[in-house]
Structure 1
Amino acid sequence: MALLEVKNLQKHYILDPGSIFGRERQMLHVTKNVSLTLEAGKTLAVVGESGSGKSTLGRMVSMLETPDSGDILISGQEVSRLSSKAQRPLRQKIGLVFQDPYSALNPRMPILDSLIEPMKVNGIGDKQSQRARALEVLEWVGMREDVLTRYPHEFSGGQRQRIAIARALMLKPELIIADEPLSALDVSVQSQILNLFKDLQQEHGIAFFFISHDMAVVYHLAHDIVVMKSGELVEQATKEAFFAQPKHPYSQELLNAVPDIGNARRRNQVQRKSA
């Protein structure tokens, strides 16, 4: 059974409700019949340009937004039509990591309070067990106990993102939804966080729903890839198949825009033609 299944998911926003005087209602279709699966312990990369619908898809999977139609199943259970109260225990299976490490943490809270907040909100554990869990996940992300009494402004962007990842791990999630988690970081720091994601998956079996426009990052992290354009899923493939021979013209554009990948693809095409 897949950890996550999305079936025919649709979402639109009303841009103009129209009028009784004949002005037509205008709608923006953000996702159009999107279907995908993610296996436990694997990484699915959702790629596409800004405005393609990938972040809205992530918000629906994380139960922060409700689809207009379609199904979202987590471990076989449909979640999108449940009440907020019924969704709460299922949300504990999902951790969230966002793009901006500077807004991910409350600037007025010491790090300990930020880390244990998800446990307190869900009524999990006492102060001692909450602190113990905070220390455990900090160790997972390569940070020490002295972090707990400090405040977000005392850390670099990369350190803040590590702390934000630690917070996402507090409830022992099976799935982490990461929306452009590297794009606000320096290149050297990006590689460190990328390796951290891979270590967390290898050591703890966590699945990642990884939203990105950076094909080089996707190449190093993903097992499977889906490509979105204008709200539609235009290609779905394993990483190996996608980077070897993307089928959709838009997928080819995405890869050719990355110098190293594009040059390698062009060399392979020449070799195949001359063989």
Structure 2
Amino acid sequence: MAAGPALRTGADSTDLVFAEGGGTRAQAVRAVLGAGRDALFAPVVLGGFSVLLGLVLFIAFGVGLGTVLLVLALVSAGEVLLLAPLGAYADLRAFYRVEFGPPAAPERLRFVRTGRVDPWLPVSELSRFVIVHRIQEPYPGDRRPAAHTYDLRMVLRHNQQAPSVRSRAGDPTRLAEELKALLAPAGVRVELDPPQRPPPTPAPLPLDLRRLRLRQLRRRLTPTLTTDRRRAPSARAAGAFGFRHFVGNRAYSMRVACGQ
């Protein structure tokens, strides 16, 4: 699980860091190359659809094998060419950090994306931060502590796109206090929702209990299997009796036809 954003104070600004790096052309090039690499796996992930399409063309329409392979190659190339630009676009628009300047009493902010840095905005454009705290309790008997995660969302006044993160590990109370101390002079609200406690995940079955359930299932199935085995000789005997009865009737009919 990814770690949550952190506040870092520098010489010119205080940064709310979502991920390391960003804001350079080199990072943009790496993002585009990574999106292209990930798109190459699309034909593997969507292989079931391609196989189904090939079977329909081959069986239902009688298309030759060479034509089917050509169509599947074109479909795979189309998947790569479609998903690569979409992945690159999403990666290039991702937020890496938010810079507040000056560090002590912020008056402006800007967003740092993958390959560029947005222009400065007045801090009054930021309406509020919303932090949703979640506590995942362990199942009974688990010695691990409860897992604390949270969602962080920035709300701008003019419905502009703002960064948000989901299911990050960390202490949301500490982050809320740091944001309040930084942005309270500028009139920016920081809302920390009450902790949400989803039901604990069910405990995994111990190995002994799984063996016990398999043994009980085997015992339930054993009478049925035994009954079927006992019935099998009776069926064979009935078949043999029917065959002998049929042969006897044929022999009697032949004797009657011969006048015996």
If the TM-score is normalised by the length of the shorter chain, which range does it land in? under 0.3
Taking structure 2 as the reference length, the TM-score comes to 0.23
Larger helix proportion, structure 1 or 2? 2
Higher Cα Rg, which structure:
2
Q: Which has the higher contact order (CA 8 A, sep 6+)?
A: 1
